[in-house]
Structure 1
Amino acid sequence: MTRKISLFTLLFSYGFCLNADDIALTIKNRSNADQKRAVVVSGIPFPVGKLKESNVSLIDSDGKTLPLHTRVTASWYDGSVKWLQLQTQVSLKAQESLKLKLTTVEKKTTLKNPWKEKDTEDALIVDNGKLKIKFLKQGNAFIQSLLANGRTVIKANGKAQMLIELDNKGPKFTDEENWLRPRNLEADTVTCKAKIESCHVDERTPFRYILRYEGGLYDSKDIRKCGFVLRFYLYRNSSEMKVEWTMIWEADARTNFLSNSLLRFPGRATGAKMNDDEMVKGSRVSVIATKSDVKVDRIPINQVKAVETYVMVNKKKMAAPKDSGWADIIMGGKKISVAAYRFHQRFPKELRVDKTGITYYMWPSSTDMVADLRNYRDAPAKRFTKHQLNQRIESVHGQAEGTATTERLYFDFSGKTSGADLKKRIEKRLLLQASPDVYLKSGVFGPVLPFSPEAFPEYEGLIEASLYWIIRSPDQYKWYGLFNDGGSLMEFNWARPGFAAGKNAWMCRGYSGWYMNDGGLAGNILLHYFRSGNTDYFDFAERKMNYVMDVVTIHAENDHSVRGASPNAKPTIGASRRHNEQSWGGYHSTRGSDAFGRFFYYHLTGEPRVLDVIVEGTVYEWVFQSSEKSCTVAGSLALSAELFAAEQKFDPLYEQKKAERLLRFQSMKNRAWRYKWKLAGQHSQRLYFHALAAIDNPAKLKTHGWTLDYKFSNVHTYAFTDVSVRPLSLKYFELTCDPNSDQGKQARSRIARAATAMLNGKFSQGDAYARFYEGKSAAFTYEWNKDEKWPKRINRKIWLAVGKKPKGLKAISLADGMVGGARNIPYLDLWNRLSVFGELTPNKIYHLWGMVLDRFPYMMTTLDIPKPKEVEIDEEVELIELD
């Protein structure tokens, strides 16, 4: 007996009703602190043709209309709204939820601009009624003065407000696991100060004002060592300010070791507290997070040490609160609060207050540690095996140059919020949430099934168990740190000859200790948030997305980072590294950049940092033409074209942003020629001219991606990554086309041919698990042709993945052994339940991704899903012929 449940039936059972004038939304304060006048930014998708204009209103359960600003961030092929960004402002008690309704109106209300600006040649003064800030446009200081309710709190003192210090020597040997290493006491140290190179307004809406700086950090000889992007966020009628600081590593990692990195907020500070003790006056107070240089790859989870966090008052060491990284401060005679996002998880860190003001250390010198960013094979440790040493990475592979990291620091100048409460608030983003039906029925993701535990308790249980095992692994192993936070465990209880792993420990062999994003895990976990509404998935996807965009993606080049490359080699900026124990250890491609997921993360959150990376990735895919690296190009360039077209039409600051983006590539070219980087100079020259073409011509951009996909595709010689990634790329391309257009029809034809080739077992790569990645293209094909041959084959693919494991299915079933869900099941118990499914090799995260998480949501939309205990697998495979 089988049960036949269609996607329509499931959506109807959810009470689905998607009208543009009646969408139920919820904002929940997930923190244990009150939120006052908090600005919420979230995106909502709409089906093609549903919403012609962005004339909508937001109404609460009492019928009160909330202030609202909207902007279209993507349009369908017919011009209707595809993604609409909503900005509003709310006050919520701790754990309080606010029920809202989005309705269409004849004419939307235009809100008054709250910003008073004065723009001069040297400075920009911004006033929102609560804060008045004078931002500088040149030099090495960003804030000349900040007044809170008329009282001066921050005031420049002539010192550089951003600097780094670099040692010229590090430890004798590298370590493939650790980048946090003891300082070499014989090293010489150089100081590099910030130099502002561009300053522009990133966003100016009735709710938030974002100012963006970009520049470099230069030593006393005017040699650039690092780049930076610095954003200041101000909010409507609010005393809060957010600072987002991105540092881009550009120095030769073999001779430069980061020993100090700081951002200053100068002023007259007279008191501070960073724990539950009384405020300390007239002293230097710091909260510090660090970790000893210890290997953890063979340590069982119950022996892994936590990050050490403590408070220093002058030279006295004191206990720090569990969730440290905040301060209450008396500055300029006014009480203010400061908090850093994921402070101890992004060690080493220090937040210091003394008589000169507030200093935030991305990397504190007080710990006497350096960042050793060498490829671990540059000066290999003697304990390395012969096999490890033979895995030498040359050329553009495995260099740290171009990696980045972003810190987020929050200020409240009202005097009414404690640092501890501010810290609680910033750790849980406010989201304007719709039901899964709204996201999925919009069609922006293709055919995806909403979370359906009653219909498919075994499959949904397997998905949930896999997700929570991935999400919980970093906390279990304390896989934290500046260059680790956001990574996920790749191999567990797994050993090969020469690569031993302890029981209940993770395996480190250079190549694959912790998983970066090979294939798009971050975007896929975000998709599971959309289909379930589970904010645990969103929080982890956000951390991983930020990690991928910064640490794993390449943002700059020099002649060391491209050493050994041929003269005709293509630029690497915008590419990502493949999974490796070091975030920068593997070769570059688009596979790990989450070429699709970052678009949906941007449409959902409106984070401007994402746009920086999307631009880099767009130019990379435009320039880099290779059959191995082109499996994302059609979809990602089509999504870029869609995004840039919406910017051109709906963003009043588009021309300014475009000029700044081109200036960035122009500056790269100028630096390369200045430092006589021959190959990097050729790259940046090529990048600049391609950026001109790629960024400002959406139609051409989309066509170019389509051409590249066709040029390098051969459905009879697919590699196993193309099995999973390329059909999704073609699907996203198809969704940007009129279904009756030639390109729309051709896209469906390519997907169908890919499905046929995959299901007939035609692969170029002998990966033993390639067959387990099949099925997504068949689900896409079945969506439009409804051929009954496809469900039969898809059903078999599902069962090839889970095998005949009735006891195992019972243990992970949401209707039986896992009724309460996977969130609270002990970590090793969760592992034991997953390990039953040997066909999945769940010790390898990317197999869980490819075989379950990435394809089950699509495959389950087909039909005829048998009950597990009654399934029969037909070993005879019928080849499918295309009409």
Structure 2
Amino acid sequence: MYQLLQRWHVKNSQTEYCNNMEKGNLSRREFMKQSMIISAGLPIATSLQSWMPPAGVSLQWLGNKVPNLSMGATWGVPWPQGAVKQSNAFVLESKGQNVNLQSWPLAYWPDGSLKWSAHAIGANQGLTEQLVLKTGTNTRSSGAVEVKENADHFLIDNGVVQCTVQKNGAPLIPAISKNGKVVATKGILVLEVQNAAEAATIHDHYESQVTEMIVEQSGPVRAVVKISGHHVNAAKRHLLPFIVRLYFYEGSEAIRMLHTIIYDGDENKDFISGIGIRFSVPLEGETYNRHIRFTGEKEGVFAEAVKGLTGLRRDPGEAARKAQIEGKTVSDVSAIKDKLQYIPDFGDYTLFQPTPDAFEIQKRTKEGYGWIQSAYGRRASGTAYVGTPGGGLAFGIRNFWQSHPAQLDIRNAHTSEANVTMWLWAPKANPMDLRFYHDGMGQDTFEKQREGLDITYEDYEPGFGTPMGVARTSEAQIWVLSATPDNTFLSQIAGYIQDPDTITCGTDQWQVAGVFGGIWNQAFNASPTKKKMLAQLDFYFDYYHQQVEERHWYGFWNYGDVMHSYDSDRHVWRYDVGGYAWDNSELSTDLWLWYYYLHSGRKDAFRMAEAMTRHTGEVDVHHIGRFAPLGSRHNVQHWGCSAKQLRIATVANRRFYYYLTADERVGDLMQAEVDAAYTLRSIVPGRKVGQPASDPGGQYAGVSFGTDWGSLAAAWLTEWERHGTPLAKERLLNSMQTIAAQPHGFFTGSAEMELASGKFKPAPTDKISVSHLSAVFGLPEICMELVALIPMPAFEKAWLDYCTLYNATPEEQKAALGKPLGKLNLRQGHARLTAFAARVKKDPLLAARAWEEFLGGEAGIKKMNTKLNALNGPAVLNPVEEATDVSTNAVAQWGLTAMAMLDLAGNAYNE
């Protein structure tokens, strides 16, 4: 039962006050206060000893398996408040030996101490199970990475590879060298566009134009360059803004590329038929010494030469054949020298993955001549190589088949300069068709739209189902090699591109540090019910992980998301039924996966949560245009719903990946949400149900205290702890104070918020409003952090009142609020709010009530069940395993609440 089971047997790793906290003798606030007092009252060295083992913090490779190779790794580590000063340095030891380490801050506690630190090591460093991170003083990082600025470009040198990056104009990357030898040139982005989905009459070509380049890190172990620009055609039209980040690690042969495009075209006229990254590769020598490689499924490799010497009617000799097969120099072809000109040179190759279950490899001699089929396969790992025995370029796309249609091209390998293209959208596939999927069906009024919502759960509104502003981020790598790799090494490269190893902490570190609410992996007494809960947590994750594969939730725009609801009559997820299709983070699917990883430490959970974070933060959010930076509610198309809201774009879903990996792109996404409330003036969330319109240029906007404010609070808290931004802190504290000052606190429901300051206007004294959705999009998790972090008794009381009264009896609600709240939904999911209130109040009766609410299953999952039904043809198209009573809303809320129950009130129930 993985690491969660260990919580029954492992003694709490903290000191006595932490044990008291688990027993209910300390509130969450008292725990944090005592922690701060202990840290503040001792010198930093003593404080560290009281918080951490003297040997430091143990780290591990994700999945607890040391990789065969690593081209560099970056990771984050959380620290308890007051434990690590900003001036502290870090040392990483591997088997007692220091490893070159680059460190930088990711976030700070309110007292200025370090909350999250980021660290990076170079290629093939720390390849051991014994990694220990220690704090130190006056420790200077060392490393070989240097960034030198010139008039029109920067030169990045990591000790092995030298890369020139253009400041503006084109190309992005003029040249890449290894030890002084140029291996690649003319690195550009390419974009192909046509004017119709079928029978297009215009096919237009665009190339990247750099408008801004920023060096975000300059070594000594890791360098990061951010390049922004747009694609431009011959007529100087700009299309699809892009952001490309290049990552360089000390001693690495690889350059990692993080590639983002933002759609700003007209979906009725601009049909994208190709998105690619292209390089030129200089080639020398005879064509029979030029090698082509593609990786297929698992460890499979397709290996050929431009001019093949095997299978001929006349034998060039065993030595020549063997050398060519191994990618080594063929030095003697005298046996067939007078006939070499009759052996064709195959200069063009393509690997095309149109679906998740099939790829093909074709080749031809050159443009203008026919293609011949070379090979077929199922799922290519998406890496290729072109070069000579003296070196060349390997290149690959991460999640290649998962993000189909994808394509790898090698062109002109028979000439002095080959071209290679990593197609993120394959030109051989049909063009993107991003048009809305129906004509509106007459829904031209809010009344008709509500009727449509009533039948298909789709929230439609003309002009809202547009892809304008949605984004897609892809990952790729290029490897600058000194020789043609043997098949084993190329297969390892492909494996690394698909699954780049990283480093992480043990699961107990989240609790030790007090981050993400700080109540993780608490010890609790074993019982039959808790064993079932742990098994059910595993089951739900495993089921969805399996459903991704069985239902083929793959594709360029889809990979990372899951479906919302199931159709047990057709035995399919409701992929074509309005608001029941793609989930788009509904009811905190992202949070469920991330908290499951925090509890379990499972690598497959991390990878699934990572893919979801990439998807939901990019595709499900509008990054430019009238809806930016809001997200789109669940729909048949990710951007199709007219409900553009903060709850989908919420920073609460992104913080985990950022802090665990220091990912700069996710950092951008989070920062973009800091001023998101301004969009609520023109895109009013409740416009269809009577919420009055705001002044688009005004100083106020209507903001709900649930899905809206919870998202804003996550953005402001994260901005404050990341950058210390005074305005973010001011807005957060002002909003907390003015929510607490409302006549009925959180039960007031919403109010007008001053956008600049975050202050809410007082609502009418008789206003009481509550929604079952308020606390299922990250609000409980953020408020748990805020109560622990910020000493504001009035806000704590307001939140505890909400937690206590939401599931209370009508009599208790009436006594506190003047009237009962009526029939409320999602009682089971709100049990974690009751459990939190019980924990802080040290109220055993409230804790018992929380367990009753959770196990009762009202508006949730009433009975834990791990049964699957196997279905085969002809009942279904493909064999599947079906759990008919599973829906993503219910599973996400059940999972979050189950983990919270075990952590917050684990010892309050023993049956």
Range into which the TM-score falls when normalised by the shorter chain: 0.7 to 0.9
Taking only the aligned residue pairs, the percentage that are identical comes to 17
- Cα deviations by residue, 1:565-609 (Å, 9 ceiling, x for unpaired): xxxxxxx21211111121111221122224213122111100101
The correspondence of residues 389-404 of structure 1 with structure 2, limited to 5 A, is: 393-394=460-461, 397-404=464-471
Cα distance in 2 for partners of 1:422, 1:8 equals 35
- 1 CA distance for matches of 2:535 and 2:196? 51
> Are 2:543 and 1:466 aligned?
no
CA distance in 2, matches of 1:61, 1:259: 48
- Residue in structure 2 matched with residue 781 of structure 1 by the alignment: 837
Letter in 1 for 2:554: Y
The one-letter code matched in structure 1 to 2:774 is: D
Q: Which range is displaced more, 416-425 or 618-627?
A: 618-627
* Residue number in structure 1 paired with 2:638: 583
Instruction: Give, as a single letter, the amino acid of the residue that structure 1 aligns with 2:159.
Output: G
Q: Which of residues 410, 424, 428 is equivalent to 2:499?
A: 428
* Equivalent position of 1:239 in the other structure: 253
Aligned to 1:414, which of 470, 475, 481?
481
Report what 2:656 is aligned to.
600
From 599, 620, 624, the counterpart of 1:531: 599
Residues 332 and 148 of structure 1, relative CA distance in 2, 3 Å threshold? farther
CA distance in structure 2 between the aligned counterparts of 1:787 and 1:340, rounded to whole angstroms: 54
Matching residue within 645, 652, 676 for 1:620: 676
8 Å contact from structure 2 (residues 516, 781) kept in 1: no
Q: Are 1:358 and 2:420 matched, yes or no?
A: yes
In structure 1, the residue matched to 2:132 is 101
Contact 1:20/1:102 (CA < 8 Å) preserved in 2? Answer: no
Matched with 1:567 is none
> CA deviation digits over 1:641-666, x for unaligned, max 9?
455456557xxxxxxxxxxxxxxxxx
Alpha-carbon distance in 1 for matches of 2:635, 2:623? 18
- Cα distance change of structure 1 residues 729 and 861 upon mapping to structure 2, 3 Å threshold: closer
Equivalent residue number for residue 294 of structure 2: 274
Structure 1 gap segments, 5+ residues each: 1-5, 171-183, 292-305, 495-500, 563-571, 650-694, 814-825, 836-840, 869-883
Separation in structure 1 between the aligned mates of residue 532 and residue 81 of structure 2, nearest angstrom: 33
Q: How far 1:480 sits from its partner (Å)?
A: 0.7
Contact 1:325/1:340 (CA < 8 Å) preserved in 2? yes
Q: Aligned in 2, Cα 1:9/1:435: closer, same or farther, shift over 3 Å?
A: closer
**DSSP 3-state at the match of 1:722:** coil
Secondary structure of residue in 1 paired with 2:853? helix
What is the letter of the counterpart of residue 583 of structure 1? H
* Counterpart contact for 1:164–1:191, Cα < 8 Å: yes
Give the aligned partner of residue 113 of structure 2: 80
Which of 488, 506, 529 is equivalent to 2:562?
488
TM-score normalized with structure 2 length = 0.74
Which secondary structure state, in structure 2, belongs to the residue aligned with residue 591 of structure 1? helix
The equivalent residue for 1:313 is: 363
Partner of 2:195: 168
Aligned position for 2:392: 335
Alignment-derived partner of residue 195 in structure 1: 209
Distance 1:121 1:513 in 2: 52
Counterpart residue number, 2:431: 370
Secondary structure, in 3 states, of the residue corresponding to 1:458? helix
Q: Judge conservation of contact 1:591–1:629 (CA < 8 Å) in 2.
A: no
Q: Deviations over 1:674-696 (max 9, x none)?
A: xxxxxxxxxxxxxxxxxxxxx67
Aligned to 1:476: 550
In 2, are the aligned partners of 1:33 and 1:424 still within 8 Å (CA)? Answer: no
Partner residue, 1:746: 794
Aligned residue for 2:324? Answer: none
Secondary structure at the counterpart of residue 169 of structure 1:
coil
Letter in 2 for 1:476: E
Q: For the structure 1 residues 376 and 810, does the alpha-carbon distance in structure 2 shift closer, same or farther, using more than 3 Å as the test?
A: closer
With over 3 angstroms needed to count, the CA separation of the structure-2 counterparts of 1:207 and 1:642, relative to structure 1, is farther
Structure 1 residue 277: deviation in Å?
A: 3.6
Matches of 1:414 and 1:451, distance apart in 2: 48
Structure 1 pair 867/697, CA: closer, same or farther in 2 (3 Å)? closer
Within 2, Cα distance between the matches of 1:524 and 1:530? 10
C-alpha distance in structure 1 between counterparts of 2:573 and 2:723, whole Å: 51
Higher RCO (CA 8 Å, separation ≥ 6 residues): 1
CA distance in 1, matches of 2:64, 2:476: 17
What is the root-mean-square deviation of aligned Cα atoms in Å?
Answer: 3.6
Higher mean alpha-carbon deviation, 324-333 vs 138-147, is at: 324-333
Q: 1:537 offset after TM fit, Å?
A: 0.9
Summarize deviations over 1:857-878 as a string: whole Å, max 9, x none.
Answer: 246421544455xxxxxxxxxx
CA deviation after TM superposition for structure 1 residue 12, in Å: 5.4
Separation in structure 1 between the aligned mates of residue 389 and residue 721 of structure 2, nearest angstrom: 44
Is the 1:47–1:442 contact (alpha carbons within 8 Å) kept by the matching residues of 2?
yes
Q: Are 1:119 and 2:149 an aligned pair? A: yes
Q: How does 1:802-841 map to 2 (within 5 A)?
A: 809=864, 831-832=882-883, 841=885
Alignment-derived partner of residue 445 in structure 1: 516
| Cα distance, 1:361 vs structure 2 | 1.2
1: CA distance, partners of 2:573 / 2:240: 36
Match of 1:252 in 2: 266
Write the distance in 2 (CA, Å) between the matches of 1:866 and 1:545.
Answer: 34
Q: Give 5+ residue unaligned stretches, structure 2.
A: 16-50, 284-289, 296-300, 307-345, 365-370, 413-417, 443-450, 682-700, 750-767, 814-819, 869-877
Q: Is the 8 A contact 2:348 2:410 kept in 1?
A: yes
Q: Deviations over 1:780-821 (max 9, x none)?
A: 223322122310210111111289999x658589xxxxxxxx
TM-superposed CA distance for 1:213, in Å, is 1.0
TM-score (norm 1): 0.76
In structure 2, relative to structure 1, the CA distance for the partners of 1:719 and 1:761 (3 Å cut) is farther
Match of 2:588 in 1: 520
**Which protein shows a greater Rg?**
2
Q: Quickly say closer, same or farther: Cα 1:864–1:32, change in 2 above 3 A.
A: closer
Q: Give me the whole-angstrom Cα distance separating, in 2, the residues matched to 1:577 and 1:732.
A: 26
Aligned 1:503-514 pairs, distance under 5 A: 503=571, 506=574, 508-514=576-582
